[in-house]
Structure 1
Amino acid sequence: MILVTGGLGFIGTHTVRALLDLGEDCVVVQRRARDLPAFLDESRVAVEQADITDRDALPSIGRRHAITGIVHLAGSYPWPPVPDAPVEATRRALDGLLNIAQSAQEWGVRRLGVASTIGVYFGAGHDGPLREDAPLPMSAPVSIPTFKKVGELLGGFLADTTGVDIVDYRVSGTWGPLGHRDPFFAGPALVHAAARGTVPDLSHLVAPAFAEDGLDLNYVKDTGRAIALLQLAETLKHRTYNVGSGRVTTNAQLVEAIRTVVPDARIDLPEGGTAPHMVLDTSRLREDTGYRPDYDTERAAADYIAWLRAGHAN
């Protein structure tokens, strides 16, 4: 049985679905009460409401369930930043990771997978696909990659000292059902606007969106399956894996894909965009798990729009 923190969140829900499809039952841990999505088999998913930053909340979960592995997807960073209490926010962000690592050791789990981000490569140079062995800069422009870098360093130390197989998943830009407006790329907002027949509101983005802007975008169903495959692989040769599509998707390509489903969508973006295209090298993931994405951009856009038009909120 695999425990998934944040297992009813965006990527977490799809990871749980992929684990179920691969034959594993799951325990999901959520800080806030949340209904189980209809596409998850409630007979095979146990829901535990707990705050992983509370060390005392975890031991009883291990007593109630025979946990063999952990996928840690719950937020381990303060976002948005908390300027009035930065020290306490930092303490809580790291407590969750440390508590989960301690539980993994106590429960004798085989593998602990920890979500990281493509953002750790900011400033590392972009001459071709980004490899896991690329040197990373010590600084980062926002809190998420900062905390993920710290988490990766801590994970390596804890793996060496506890004997737990701790693996980091550097997840690319991810979009799809149950998602939310992302501050770093326009895709989700464009899809939602097309499905509703409105003009997209892009005011939440940290920078203006242009047609030629691009990123390694992975559909969330593929992201969840990749994480599940990494969690269940008999052996892994590395501690760090890129999880993405391995290709760039520009906003212009995304707009074109959306218009194959909604031809009159009002989602034009201005031409331009000078930001480098960050693309992950997914060789390790493919070689060690056999993973291949199931969704190209057009199929993903059609699936997401169908989900929204079926009456789902996200």
Structure 2
Amino acid sequence: MILVTGGLGFIGSHTVRALLDMGEGCVLVQRRTGEVPAGLVGENVAVERADITDLDALLDVGKRHKITGIVHLAFSMPWPPAPDQPIEQTRKALGSLLNIMQAAQDWGVARVGVASTIGVYSGIADEGPLREDSPLPMTAPHVIPTFKKIGEMLNGHVADVTGIEVINHRISGTWGPGDPHGAMFFAAPELIHAAAKGTEPDLSTLFVPPHAEDAIDLCYVKDTGRAIALLQLADRLNHRTYNVGSGRATTNAEIIAAIKQVVPDARVDLPTGGLGRQSYLDITRLQQDTGYKPEYDAERAAAEYIAWLRAGNEY
């Protein structure tokens, strides 16, 4: 069975669904609950309540299940930051990643997939495709890419000294059903929510005011989950790091146009005047080694996401 940390979370739940659809059983490790979600009852899935910062509790999971692979999607970073305990929170964050590697070694797991982020490319000035072999700046503008860069380096060391195949997943801007973040790094989720509710979007939480020309590699969460599942189950992988995304830059204007195909009177227009940079993830490695192809363009994603929200779902 594949152990998935954060398996009840946003990307995790869709990754679990993809793994199940590919015939794999899953063990979901969560800190707060041990109940199987209603939508997964009867599936080949178990939920274990364990905190990955507690090595003994984590290793106990392996006594109850035969773990053959690990997908680590839970946070191994100080998130949300705790100003009163910054050193202890950092220690726990890095310790949780090492606990996963310890468990993999003890259980004889051959492959561990670890979530990284498109944010590790922050500071690269060139437009166009972002490739896994691009030199990365030694700085980062936010705690998430900071710890993902550190994690990638640690993962490489652990892979070298243990022989475990550790794979970094540099995940692009992911959006879709279950997204708890809202307008955190990009506008698309809040634009969808506003359209579904018939309100104006609240984009005040973004780091910079959004414009119609702003673009990012947006990947619908079902595509993200399927890509991660394919990387976990591939017979052979030729690299340690893979970009996980759509392979193209999607502008806010494209998202707005897709929304208005479903909600013509949506009040989601944005001003022009943005930089219009067109950076996106090169997904050649992912496609060559797994056969992955994105299934959701902006129109299909927006229509499905709005329908999901209008059906009464909370996120």
- Fold similarity call, TM over 0.5: yes
Change (3 A) 1:38 1:307: farther
**Range 145-154 or range 33-42, more displaced:** 33-42
CA contact (8 A) 1:211 1:250 kept: yes
**Matches of 2:163 and 2:183, distance apart in 1:** 36
**Matches of 2:299 and 2:159, distance apart in 1:** 40
CA offset digits 1:119-151 (Å, max 9, x no partner): 000012333200000000001011100100000
CA offset digits 1:221-254 (Å, max 9, x no partner): 0000000000000010000000000001111100
**Range 18-27 or range 196-205, more displaced:** 196-205
**Matches of 1:25 and 1:230, distance apart in 2:** 16
Q: CA RMSD in A?
A: 1.2
> Which residue of the partner structure matches residue 4 of structure 2?
4
**Matches of 1:48 and 1:275, distance apart in 2:** 45
**1:162 positional shift:** 0.8
**Matches of 1:218 and 1:34, distance apart in 2:** 29
Matches within 5 A, 1:246-285: 246-274=247-275, 276-285=277-286
**Matches of 1:308 and 1:126, distance apart in 2:** 37
2:71 is equivalent to residue 64 of structure 1: no
**Range 229-238 or range 176-185, more displaced:** 176-185
CA contact (8 A) 2:34 2:48 kept: no
> Which residue of the partner structure matches residue 130 of structure 2?
130
CA contact (8 A) 2:212 2:271 kept: yes
Aligned structure 1 segments of 4 or more residues deviating by more than 3 angstroms: 34-39
**Matches of 2:131 and 2:186, distance apart in 1:** 22
Structure 2 residue identity aligned to 1:237? N
CA offset digits 1:252-300 (Å, max 9, x no partner): 1000001111111111111121263330000000000000001011000
**1:98 positional shift:** 0.3
**1:25 positional shift:** 0.6
Structure 1 residue identity aligned to 2:86? P
CA contact (8 A) 1:36 1:42 kept: no
**1:22 positional shift:** 0.3
**Matches of 2:232 and 2:257, distance apart in 1:** 35
2:118 is equivalent to residue 118 of structure 1: yes
CA contact (8 A) 1:126 1:276 kept: no
**1:45 positional shift:** 1.1
> Which residue of the partner structure matches residue 313 of structure 2?
312
**1:186 positional shift:** 0.7
Q: What are the ranges of 5 or more consecutive residues in structure 2 without an aligned counterpart?
A: none
Output the TM-score relative to the length of structure 1. Answer: 0.97
Output the TM-score relative to the length of structure 2. Answer: 0.97
Identity of aligned residues (%): 67
CA contact (8 A) 1:213 1:272 kept: no
Change (3 A) 1:29 1:42: farther
**Range 72-81 or range 34-43, more displaced:** 34-43
**Range 302-311 or range 223-232, more displaced:** 302-311
Please give the secondary structure, in 1, of the residue aligned with 2:128: coil
> Which residue of the partner structure matches residue 79 of structure 2?
79
> Which residue of the partner structure matches residue 301 of structure 2?
300
**1:182 positional shift:** 4.0
Matches within 5 A, 1:1-314: 1-33=1-33, 36-180=36-180, 181-274=182-275, 276-314=277-315
CA offset digits 1:29-50 (Å, max 9, x no partner): 0111275444434431100111
Structure 2 residue identity aligned to 1:56? D
**Matches of 1:76 and 1:150, distance apart in 2:** 10
Please give the secondary structure, in 2, of the residue aligned with 1:27: strand
Change (3 A) 1:34 1:261: farther
Q: What are the ranges of 5 or more consecutive residues in structure 1 without an aligned counterpart?
A: none
**1:112 positional shift:** 0.2
